[in-house]
Amino acid sequence: EPPQSIGSYPEIGLNEARQRRHDARVLLAHGVDPNEERKRLEKAKILEKSSTLRVVALEFIEKKRKDGFSQKTLYKMAWFFSLVEKDLGDQALNDLMPYEILQAIRKVEENGHYETANRIRGFIARVFRYGVLTGRAATNPAAELGEALIKPKVRHHAAIIDPSAFGQLLRDIDNYGGYIGTRLALRLAPHVFVRPGELRSAEWTDVDRDNSVWKIPSEKMKMREPHSVPLSRQSLAIINEAHVRFGNYKLVFPARKSWRKPMSDATLNKALRTMGYRNEDMVSHGFRSTASTLLNESRLWAPETIELALSHVDDSVRGIYQRSQFWDERVEMAQWWSDYLDHLRAGIDILSPKQFAQRRRKVAPRPIEPTTGYSSNVTMTVRFPGQNYG
């Protein structure tokens, strides 16, 4: 029997020493080395201390920071955790039961914050998934809890989809008397219909004015996938106007008070409020909804092309192939859309998207972005511009 250390007297009393000796003999009888078992238990204690929800959640948020997630996203993650930290933060992942997580989330839900409650559940599930991958959790008890929470009503971004009313909005933007950077950003937004954060963070190094392409790097995109935006003649004219004023700066649309910073989240929406558009009428994110609705109504463009233009990412092999193959159609669609916006802005004999498509099926060709880096060893049917999809 190998020698065993069971502690020092008087810290370890006689009765406890005898108990430890007995435990060691039981382990030996089962073929377990007491010294190795003691080391295993010590490691388990260390692992348990590094496996609390607080430790793993903060580690997960830090990883996302290093992955390049925006400060806004990181703040939201930290906020979600703060709402359940008191109830769950000190418990090890493997000790947390589904009902305990549900009970903590329901405290938020009981205040009527259904969407927040569901997003907290999603965040905790991601933390547990990270814990499983790093060996600190065996299961993900938060994964299926969504069925036990009240589903929030889907709230779409307020958007104007009536052609005549949207034309009036375009004219109001042209006449906006506030900061020139805000006016230029609002003028460009309808043409490119990117997310407001992507518009506000645009840098001159991202814009290839010679080839009429705006290449947004992955770290600025919601889905962390790079996205290219074809620039119509109208879009390029607005960008060139911005370059005259802000070309010496890093940002295409710098903040009014500091050219080193982008304009704030609220700037574009505040400008819309100043023009008389209520929050339930139109928000800056609504330009995407307007473009999606009216482009689909035209029945001129493939739904896949519109989805790609909105950077709704398809990570399948087919999706990667489409990002290459549908570029030509996206270029043509961008110019058609800008021409239609000019028609709406003029406000004379307004045509619906489908009527305008029937009159203006073809537009002048424009530069095509190189498609290197995409897989082409896939066979699929590609629908071409000008084909009616109705």
- CA dist 382 and 15 (Å) reads 82
- For residue 165, with 0-12 CB atoms within 10 Å meaning exposed, 13-18 middle and 19 or more buried, which class applies? middle
* Residue 130 annotated in active site: no
- CA dist 293 and 315 (Å) reads 24
Encoded tokens for 188: 């460009």
Question: Which is the catalytic residue, given 130, 277, 321, 340?
Answer: 321
Kind plus residue range of the DSSP H or E element containing 82: helix 71-82
Question: Which is the catalytic residue, given 106, 233, 256, 312?
Answer: 312
- CA dist 132 and 128 (Å) reads 6
* Residue 179 annotated in active site: no
Question: Which is the catalytic residue, given 119, 121, 183, 195?
Answer: 195
* Residue 222 annotated in active site: yes
Question: Which is the catalytic residue, given 126, 183, 220, 285?
Answer: 285
* Residue 54 annotated in active site: no
* Residue 157 annotated in active site: no
* Residue 312 annotated in active site: yes
Question: Which is the catalytic residue, given 288, 323, 343, 345?
Answer: 288
Chain Cα centroid distance, residue 385: 30
- Hey, what long-range contacts does 357-365 have (CB within 8 A, 24 or more apart)? 357/298, 357/299, 357/300, 360/336, 361/300, 361/386, 362/386, 363/332, 363/335, 363/336, 363/339, 364/335, 365/332
Active site amino acids: 195, 222, 285, 288, 312, 321
